[in-house]
Amino acid sequence: MEPRTRHVDIPKMHLVVLLFGVLLLLFVVSKAILFSARFMRTTGITPTTLVRLIFDNGADLHPIDGRVNMLLLGIPGGDHEGTDLTDTILVLSFHEKNKTLSMISLPRDIWSDTLKDKVNSAYHYGELKKKGGGLILSKAVVSDMIGLPIQYALVLDFSGFRKVIDLVGGIEVNIPKSFTDPEFPIPGKENDECSGDPEFRCRYEPLHFEAGPLVMNGDLALKYVRSRHAEGDEGSDFARGRRQQEVLLALKSKLMSKDIYLNPGELEKLYGAFDEATDMDMNIGELLTVGKMFMQTPKERTQRISLEDKLYTPPSSLYGRYVLLPEESFEAIHAFVKSSLK
């Protein structure tokens, strides 16, 4: 039997998930701004009145034990295999009275006895049952793992940002390291017989990215973050996670341009693109109240909770694949999370 081993890469994944999760929430706030603009145009309400109505009191977020817990999920999207498996799983726990924020990241490979699969498949199985079921099942499974009730959830389809990037006129990304991917899959050619070519080369296109600044349209940006067959470190999950961060940061920088918000027509298009790329179980008042809580939480009152020391890698022969299990039990993880929150 293979020896019981501890997983050593969780700190890297934790950093990737944490940064990507924070950026997800920044886009939640951006979407709220866009939605608000559309709402004001439709109702004729003034910005001052809208801000007063929402931010003076805010929506009732139904805290439990003083906390509001929100699950953030990130899926790759697109037409390739595994488009609705969640690469990013992050729980944001706000304490309303103390104005603190705790970020709990979950590696996607944690095994769930409920699913008989990894936690990153919860959204997929939920959506198979019914539209919107992905958020419901993901909240239930993650809640069981960390021992906290989860009131809200949001999922971001990363491929949906291709349209957003094109709408803002492209983004400039500073590529830190050159790499070549000789086998980037061409959509629609997954089953092409390639006229008998045993290597099926017609199914792929070669990609090369040179280190340095590069202006990308939506299609190129999506290829940049999805590339997974480069040699060395650039072909790893961690490299893809870093590239997601780079693209999101570049898009965030472009969205901060005041010119975008001075053009009602472009703002309406952006709202539509954001709406297509995200799904959530919050209304606009709840969304803006969460954004307010996030923006008002000072850095010194924000903590990161990692499950690194509470997980291990069992022999692959036991599950037929690479998974993570609790070092002791999920009950021990519950106790750890609650102790960390206190």
Are the C-beta atoms of residues 166 and 211 closer than 8 Å to each other? no
The total of other beta-carbon atoms located within 10 Å of residue 183's CB is 16
The pTM of the full predicted model, rounded to 2 decimals, is 0.70
Q: Look up tokens 């909240």; give the residue.
A: 139
Q: Half-sphere exposure of residue 119, counting CA atoms within 13 Å on the CB side? A: 27
For residue 319, the Cα-to-chain-centroid distance in whole angstroms is 26
Return the SS3 of 165.
Answer: helix
Residue range 228-245, pLDDT digits in tens = 888 888 887 667 767 876
CATH fold, domain 10-160+263-341, is Nucleotidyltransferase; domain 5 (3.30.420)
What is the signed CA dihedral for 135, 120, 205, 195, rounded to 10 degrees?
-100
CATH fold, domain 169-256, is Aminopeptidase (3.40.630)
Cα 249 to Cα 290: distance, rounded to the nearest angstrom? 21
Instruction: Indicate if the pLDDT at residue 28 is higher than 80.
Output: no
pLDDT of residue 339: 94
Q: Look up tokens 């923006």; give the residue.
A: 295
Residue range 87-127, pLDDT digits in tens = 778 888 999 888 898 888 888 889 999 999 999 999 999 99
**Domains of the chain: which residue ranges?**
10-160+263-341, 169-256
Instruction: Indicate if the pLDDT at residue 35 is higher than 90.
Output: no
Compute the average pLDDT of residues 140-158.
Answer: 93
pLDDT of residue 64: 92
Are the C-beta atoms of residues 84 and 134 closer than 8 Å to each other? yes
Cα 287 to Cα 34: distance, rounded to the nearest angstrom? 12
Confidence of residue 301 (pLDDT cuts 50, 70, 90): confident
